Chain A
Amino acid sequence: MNEPSLTEPWLSAAGVSRRFRNGRGVGPINLSVGSGEVQALVGPNGCGKTTLLRCLATRSRPQAGSLSWFGDSNRQLARRRLAVVFDSTAHAEELSARQNLAFFGTMRQVPGDLWEPALEEASVAELGDDPLSRLSYGMRRRVLLAEAVLGAPPLLLLDEPTLGLDVSGCQWLVEVLRARARLGLATCIATNDTDFVEQVASRVCFLVDGAAVRDAPPAELLADLGGMREIRLSYRGASPAARMLLVPGVERTVEAEGGLLVLAGPRDGLIPDILAALGDLDAHLIDLTVRDPGLADCFLQLTGRALHV
Chain B
Amino acid sequence: MVRLRRPRSTQLWQLELLGTLARRRALTIKLLFPLVLVIPLVATGAPPFFAGMLLTVLIAMVGTVGTGVAVTRSRGSGWLDRLAVLPIPAWRVGLELFFAGWLVDSLQATLVLAVIVIVGRGDLATLVTTWMVALAALAFSGAIGLAIAALTDHAGEAMLYLGVLLAPLLYLSGLFTGVPAGGLRYWVAQALPFSYLDEGFQLLLGGNPPYGDPLHFLIAAVSFMTLSVAAAAALGRAILARAA
Which A residues form the contact surface with B (CB < 8 A)? 54, 57-61, 76, 79-80, 82-84, 86-96, 98-100, 102-104, 106-109, 129, 131
**A106-B6 in contact (CB<8A):** no
Known: A95-B22, A108-B86. A129 touches B3 (CB 8 A): yes
Q: Which of B78-112 touch A at CB < 8 Å?
A: 78-79, 81-82, 84-89
**A76-B78 in contact (CB<8A):** no
**B81-A59 in contact (CB<8A):** yes
Chain A, interface SS category: loop
**A107-B88 in contact (CB<8A):** yes
Q: Which of B1-55 touch A at CB < 8 Å?
A: 3-12, 15-16, 18-19, 22-23
| Pairs A-B, 4 closest by C-beta atoms | A88-B78, A90-B78, A94-B22, A106-B10
Contacts of B11 in A (CB 8 A): 103, 106
**B78-A93 in contact (CB<8A):** no
Residue of B nearest to A131 (CB): B22
Contacts of A103 in B (CB 8 A): 8-12, 15
Instruction: Give Cα A95 to B12, complex, Å.
Output: 13
A-B contact pairs, 16 of them (CB 8 A): A58-B84, A76-B87, A76-B89, A79-B87, A80-B87, A90-B77, A92-B18, A92-B79, A93-B19, A95-B18, A96-B6, A99-B18, A106-B10, A107-B86, A129-B3, A131-B22
Contacts of B10 in A (CB 8 A): 102-103, 106
Contacts of A129 in B (CB 8 A): 3-6
B5 CB to closest chain A CB (Å) equals 7
Given contact pairs A95-B6, A96-B6, enumerate 19 new A-B contacts (beta carbons under 8 Å): A54-B244, A59-B244, A76-B87, A82-B85, A83-B85, A84-B85, A90-B77, A90-B82, A92-B18, A94-B22, A95-B9, A98-B8, A99-B9, A100-B15, A103-B15, A106-B11, A107-B88, A109-B87, A129-B4
Contacts of B8 in A (CB 8 A): 98-99, 102-103
CB-CB contacts of B62-88 with A at 8 A, as 1s and 0s? 000000000000100111011011111
**B77-A88 in contact (CB<8A):** yes
- Residue of A58, A84, A90, A99 touching B6 (CB-CB under 8 A): A99
B222 CB to closest chain A CB (Å) equals 31
Contacts of B74 in A (CB 8 A): 90
Chain B, interface SS category: loop
**A90-B81 in contact (CB<8A):** yes
B121 CB to closest chain A CB (Å) equals 37
**A58-B77 in contact (CB<8A):** no
Instruction: Give Cα A185 to B18, complex, Å.
Output: 34
B224 CB to closest chain A CB (Å) equals 30
A87 CB to closest chain B CB (Å) equals 8
Known: A99-B18, A107-B86. A94 touches B23 (CB 8 A): yes
Contacts of A95 in B (CB 8 A): 6, 9, 15, 18-19, 22
Residue of B nearest to A109 (CB): B87
Instruction: Give Cα A174 to B142, complex, Å.
Output: 45
**B84-A98 in contact (CB<8A):** no
**A108-B87 in contact (CB<8A):** yes
**A102-B9 in contact (CB<8A):** yes
Q: Which of A54, A82, A95: most chain B CB closer than 10 A?
A: A95
Contacts of B15 in A (CB 8 A): 92, 95, 99-100, 103
B173 CB to closest chain A CB (Å) equals 35
- Residue of A57, A61, A107 touching B87 (CB-CB under 8 A): A107
Instruction: Give Cα A296 to B104, complex, Å.
Output: 52
B94 CB to closest chain A CB (Å) equals 15
**B9-A98 in contact (CB<8A):** no
Instruction: Give Cα A100 to B84, complex, Å.
Output: 16
B122 CB to closest chain A CB (Å) equals 37
